[in-house]
Structure formats: structure tokens, C-alpha cells
Amino acid sequence: MDIFLTNTRTRAKELFTPIDPGNVRIYVCGPTVYDRAHMGNARAAIVFDMLVRVMRQVYGSAQVTYVRNFTDVDDKINATAQARKVAGDPRPLETLIAERTEETIGWYLEDMAAVGVAEPDHMPRATRYIPQMIAMIAGLIASGHAYAAEGHVLFSVASYRNYGALSGRTVDDMIAGARVEVAPYKRDPMDFVLWKPSSDDLPGWDSPWGRGRPGWHIECSAMSYELLGESFDIHGGGNDLMFPHHENEIAQSCCAHPQGDFAKVWLHNEMLQVEGKKMSKSLGNFFTVRDLLDQGIPGEVIRFVFLSTHYRKPMDWTAEKATSATKTLRHWYDQTAGMQASPDLDPELLEAVCNDLNTAGAIARLHRLSAEGKAGDLLAGLTFLGLSLVKAPGWGLPSAADSGIALLADKLAAARAEAMQSKDFSEVDRLKAAFLSAGIEVRMSKTGVELMPGPGFDPARLAGL
């Protein structure tokens, strides 16, 4: 089946034609590992996990190479390690930095696995590719595209005439809209750092320009070249990386390897909102994937909500969407329990995801398969989208009858009937408060009382009832 993707570089939806159908190559910018993965990190991971699933479905699993890096040398990482030292940890800063990155990478992989993201073929760490970065920087200096100054090495933006083509900005626009670092050693305000000095207490490596560490942008260029070559099929990331990170990657990579094309297709996912507002610590609506998992929201629910919005549209996380996703998935899991998945993927579902990763359309198709009673096709579709239930905390809930929830519903119904006569609703209110505290949704109508376990259901809180 043909795959169509919206290429940021050309600003058009195009038929995807791989450079080599036997080796489809994808590079995605991964996280800077200084803290837990937030919901924005998860959106990018889920979007490109789906892209890889589609590519492997169409071209074959062995014919796709997926690379997603870890940035493990960064000022934010240094700051977290320095904070531990200030707090009294006597160990060397280098040890604290290594411990922090290992810890954070472990967290990231654990949290991404919980939302159904498979590990890529390669997960390079920047610190393991320093020699390749130094070699690339030296080549850029030799070809006149970079220059050394006061222990720094900077890329000369003026030396690359196509700078700004990806984002569609002129250099003047970029200077006006960006926080350009003003430094006396720069020949031009737009020139960006390839190498910078390190003090004795910070991570550093020996280089022809002195002890230092790489700039952020050169890391991805060196790692993608080493693992995928001078030309590869797709480069992805969040649209917040388009400028300056991806723009700078293109400039330095195309100048370092002028015979190559670097990335043929550029894909960018839109940002995430929470209840209609930009996610921000200042607004108090900033949270991590682990925050939601710890609240009892299964990873499948998080993934379902994300896939319900097209990757090129802003995604709004709301409690209402999580509740709706929970109900839908519970119904589908009940419907497919004990069933065998169909050997072939439903053609309409595959067609949807092949059309610029239309995962919302794929979920709409799952709804139709469910309504038509096609449980085998439904299960195959759930599995393909990474929504099949394997083992997730929160989904292994007992049924309403087995857990005694049905008896508690009867108890609440009896208390309500008595309150209607006595006009004393204190017992009704007490029971409702207890149920809500345990994560149970309470529905009362003229026809009766219904109790539904929610995502945060905790049976232990019902012990006293």
C-alpha cells in the first residue's frame, strides 16, 4: 500500500518513496535525559512509534532501521548533578552526572514501554559519539564552514545559502524572533556553537580546540551519519525543534557531506495542551507520564487519547478524554477476550494510517469493526496500534460482581430509598464520598444506582464498607 506523508521541507503531502526499499531509515530526536519524560515527550515518541509500525507493516520489519538518540551531555543534566552535590552528596560531579543519566534513561524507557512505545533499533547516547563529532567539526573548519574562536568552534551560517529553508524563515526573521546569544567571538549573530569550552568541574573531552564539549546540534548530525549514512529517508521530531535545532542540523550536515541529501522527508508533530491551555509549570498543568501512570491511568488510555488526534494538530489532554478512552477500551477488551486476532490487518484501517498517519481515522475504523462484531479484526487493529492489553496495572480489575461493587450499589440504592422517606441524606452522602475516594464513578437515576470503576480505582479503599 502507498504511504503518504506531509513533508515539512516541501510543505506538501507526498507519496513516500524510500531511497532503498530494502533499508528504510528513520532518525528521531530523542529526549535530553535530566528528568522524567513529560507528556510532550510522550507524544513525539508515540507518533514516531506509529510511523515505524506503518513502515514495518508495508516494507517488512527487517527492512526498517529506526534510530532515536539520547542527549546525555547538557547544561540541564549538569545542573541536576550539581544540585545533588550542593545537597551534600560527596561524590565527584562526573559520577553524579553518570548516575543521573542512567537513572533518567531507565525511567524514560520504562514510561515509554507503558504507553506502548517499542524500543528503536538504535538508541545512541551523545557521549559515546564524541570522536565522530570532533571529526565532523574539524571537516567543517577545513571546508570553510566553521571557525575556531576563544576555545569555541562556531558554524558560519552565511556559508550555507539554503539556511532557513526548512522553517521558511529569513535570517532577519530568525534574528528578530530568536534568543540569539551575543558573543564577541562570533562573526555573525546567527552563527551557532559546534564546540564550547568546559571548566574542570564539568564534563569535557580533549579536542584540537581545547578541553570542551559539543554543542547540541552537532550531536544529532554525527550520530545520524554514523548510523544511517549521509542520506536517509525520514527525520522526525516535535515542531518546537524545527528552528533552530533541525535548521542547524541541515546546515552542518549538508556542508559536512555535500554529496549527500541528509534527510529526504521531515516530519514534525504539533505540541500538546492540557485542558485547552499550553502545558506549563507556571500554570500548574505540567505533568509527566509517570504522574498519570501513578494516578492509575493505564498506558493504553494515554496512548489512545494521543492517537485520537492527528499528529499535525495540537493535542489537548483532558480528564474527559481519558474517561471516554477508558470506557471504550474496556468495552473492546471485553469484546475481544479469548479471541484470536485476524491474520491480516483490516485494509481500511491500514489505508487510514498510510494516509499521513491518520490514527484518528484508524480509531474510527475500530469503532465500526466493534459495532459490526468483527472481534478478530478489532483485536488485530488494537495490536497494530499498540493498544492491545498485555499487562498493565489498573486493567486487571475484578468484575463488578466479583469485587462486591454490585452489592455496594445495592447498599447505596437502599440508603437512598430510606433517605427519600426520612429526608436525611447523610448516609447517602457518606457512601458517595467513599466511592468517589476509591475511584468509583457514581451514577444515580430514577431507574437505579450504577457504580463504575474508574482509571484510579483502588479496591483497598472499600475495605471499611
29 touches 220 (CB < 8 A): yes
304 touches 42 (CB < 8 A): no
Per-residue pLDDT averaged across 84-92, rounded?
88
Task: For residue 9, count other CB atoms closer than 10 A to its CB.
Answer: 18
DSSP string, 62-97: GGEEEEE-BB---HHHHHHHHHHHHTT--S-HHHHH
Task: Indicate whether 163 pLDDT > 70.
Answer: yes
* Ranges 12-16, 162-166, 407-411, most confident: 12-16
**Cα–Cα distance for residue pair 449/435, rounded to 1 Å:** 12
What's the sign of the alpha-carbon dihedral 15, 19, 21, 23? negative
**Cα–Cα distance for residue pair 299/342, rounded to 1 Å:** 24
Q: Which residue has the higher pLDDT, 172 or 73?
A: 73
Which of 79-83, 140-144, 171-175, 296-300 is the least confident region? 171-175
Q: How confident is the model at residue 260 (pLDDT cuts 50, 70, 90)?
A: very high
The model's pTM: 0.82
**Cα–Cα distance for residue pair 156/193, rounded to 1 Å:** 9
User: Which of 442, 436, 429, 433 has the alpha carbon at shortest distance from 457?
Assistant: 436
User: Which of 63, 84, 23, 38 has the alpha carbon at shortest distance from 289?
Assistant: 38
Cα distances (Å, whole numbers) of residue 104 to 15, 71, 80:
38, 11, 11
Q: How confident is the model at residue 453, as a pLDDT? A: 76
* Ranges 169-173, 374-378, 389-393, most confident: 374-378
Domain range list for the chain? 4-269, 273-385, 401-462
Per-residue pLDDT averaged across 379-408, rounded?
66
Q: How confident is the model at residue 222, as a pLDDT? A: 98
**What single-letter DSSP state applies at residue 32?**
B
Which amino acid, residue 25?
Answer: R
**Cα–Cα distance for residue pair 414/235, rounded to 1 Å:** 61
Q: How confident is the model at residue 136 (pLDDT cuts 50, 70, 90)?
A: very high
- Residue 351 cell numbers, joined: 489505508
Task: Indicate whether 49 pLDDT > 90.
Answer: yes
User: Which of 263, 302, 273, 267 has the alpha carbon at shortest distance from 395?
Assistant: 302
245 is known to lie in a ligand binding site? yes
**Cα–Cα distance for residue pair 49/426, rounded to 1 Å:** 51
Q: How confident is the model at residue 398, as a pLDDT? A: 43
Q: How confident is the model at residue 399 (pLDDT cuts 50, 70, 90)?
A: very low
Decide if domain 4-269 falls under CATH 3.30.420.60: no
Q: How confident is the model at residue 2, as a pLDDT? A: 97
Q: How confident is the model at residue 391, as a pLDDT? A: 44
**Cα–Cα distance for residue pair 45/38, rounded to 1 Å:** 11
Q: How confident is the model at residue 174, as a pLDDT? A: 65
**Cα–Cα distance for residue pair 434/409, rounded to 1 Å:** 12
Q: How confident is the model at residue 393, as a pLDDT? A: 44
* Ranges 12-26, 166-180, 335-349, 438-452, most confident: 12-26
Which amino acid, residue 120?
Answer: P
Contacts of 314 (CB under 8 A, 6+ apart): 270, 271, 272, 273
Task: For residue 211, count other CB atoms closer than 10 A to its CB.
Answer: 15
Q: Which residues pair with 12 in a beta bridge?
A: 7
Give percent of the chain above pLDDT 90. Answer: 62
Per-residue pLDDT averaged across 227-252, rounded?
96
Per-residue pLDDT averaged across 138-163, rounded?
96
Q: How confident is the model at residue 253 (pLDDT cuts 50, 70, 90)?
A: very high
378 touches 366 (CB < 8 A): yes
**What single-letter DSSP state applies at residue 288?**
B
Which of 76-90, 248-262, 448-462 is the least confident region? 448-462
Q: How confident is the model at residue 392 (pLDDT cuts 50, 70, 90)?
A: very low
Q: List phi, psi (to 5°) of 256.
A: -70, -35
Q: Which residue has the higher pLDDT, 375 or 85?
A: 375
Element (H, E) at 193: strand 192-197
Which of 267-276, 382-391, 397-406 is the least confident region? 397-406
201 touches 111 (CB < 8 A): no
Q: Which residues pair with 196 in a beta bridge?
A: 213
**Cα–Cα distance for residue pair 448/82, rounded to 1 Å:** 59
**Cα–Cα distance for residue pair 144/146, rounded to 1 Å:** 6
Per-residue pLDDT averaged across 145-163, rounded?
96
Q: At what angle do helices 359-371 and 299-307 cross, to 10 degrees?
A: 110
What confidence tens digit (pLDDT) does each residue in 294-344 have? 998 999 999 999 999 999 999 999 888 998 888 889 888 888 888 899 999
Counting beta carbons within 10 angstroms of the beta carbon of residue 411, is it exposed (0 to 12), middle (13 to 18) or buried (19 or more)?
middle
Task: Indicate whether 160 pLDDT > 50.
Answer: yes
